[in-house]
Amino acid sequence: MQIPETQTAVIISEAGGPEVLVPAEVPVEAPGKGQVLIKVAAAGINRHDVHQRSAGRHADGKAIPGLEVSGTVVVIGPDVAGLAEGDRVMALVQGGGYGQYVVANAALVMPAPEALSDIEAAGFPEAAFTTWWNFFHLMSLREDQFALFHGGTSGVGHIALQAMSALGYRVIATAGSDEKVEACKGFGAFAAFSYKDADLADKVMNVTDGAGISALLDVSAGAHLEQDLKMMAPDGQIAHLSGGGGAALNIPLRDLMAKRVKITGSLLRPLPLDRKAAVAETIRKEVWPLLGTKVRPTIAQEFDFRDAAGAHRAMEANNHIGKIMLKVLHD
């Protein structure tokens, strides 16, 4: 097909609130070695996008947010195997998802299952990569151990609960309301509690028969750290997904030392491509076959991509269960 020289994309015009997200005409990037160009049908909204908008352009200089898309491959770059023009796909991308076209590394592109709509397919990649990198590559969770996810109804959390429980992992979830706690159970949580519960650690230790949590994924910038340390298993690990705008951790050292707890964290976007590609291979083998049957993104709200500002307002209201998505329209 004839690829236009320019496209409509939503850019971060300056650091600030949702209002700084504005549609603009920008060049269409050509794919390089090992890359493909995707005509975007839908894109997911993630917390990273909100943080990027608040700070302005990303450290790599890109002004177009968006880390996950679905769409159609329209151009194949050099040294790409296993993909063809016209393939319907979903992909993890290095920004640029809030546009009509985006370049993706072929290693991070997967077929979009027929059982999922474009909107659903675009809501899968970031959640799957975040979950599998942290729980299995970073923390090396085993099936005989207990895991915990703070924020089980988030865009990442609700997919993590579905996929991990379907594969036999026991994942405990927390959430901020009774409605969300019940939703966590519906997504497959082994047990679910309010993260506001003063007895959270005791309840977690009870439901695990005293074993505690071996791998804990925290999106709250350490807001529950005192409780977390009390409910960790010996040699357990805590991985942080949010830097909390530069927040520092106040760590009760005796609790950490008594159980030899390891505290780590990571940012997915700057992770080297070879490590992301290894995660992608695991997802293809273990999670992709579950899509449309045991794993399906829940779509909380859908916005025209030109109204990305409205989508960010919905994300910051924090009332949603599942994914907030953008439908990308082409003239």
Closest CA to 282 of 174, 179, 138: 138
Q: What pLDDT sits at residue 221?
A: 66
- Burial code (b: 16+ CB inside 10 Å, e: under 16) for 233-244 equals beebbbbbbbee
Q: How far apart are CA 183 and CA 42, in angstroms?
A: 25
- Bridge partners (DSSP) of residue 72 are 39, 88
- Burial code (b: 16+ CB inside 10 Å, e: under 16) for 109-139 equals bbebbeebbbbbbbbbbbbbbbbbbbbbbbb
pLDDT tens digits for range 77-135: 999 999 999 999 999 999 999 999 999 999 999 999 999 999 999 999 999 999 999 99
Q: What pLDDT sits at residue 246?
A: 59
Closest CA to 129 of 288, 236, 305: 288
Start and end residues for every CATH 3.40.50.720 domain found in the chain: 127-265
Report, as ranges of residue numbers, the positions in the chain whose pLDDT lies below 70. 1, 59-61, 221-222, 242-247
Q: What pLDDT sits at residue 250?
A: 76
Q: What pLDDT sits at residue 247?
A: 67
Start and end residues for every CATH 3.90.180.10 domain found in the chain: 6-123+297-327
Q: What pLDDT sits at residue 224?
A: 80
Q: Kindly give, in sequence order, each residue whose CB lies less than 8 Å from that of residue 295, ignoring residues fewer than 6 positions away.
A: 124, 159, 162, 163, 166, 287
Per CATH, domain 6-123+297-327 is 3.90.180.10 = yes
pLDDT tens digits for range 193-203: 999 999 999 99
Beta carbons of 98 and 304 less than 8 angstroms apart: no
Q: How far apart are CA 229 and CA 71, in angstroms?
A: 42
What CATH superfamily classification does 127-265 receive? NAD(P)-binding Rossmann-like Domain (3.40.50.720)
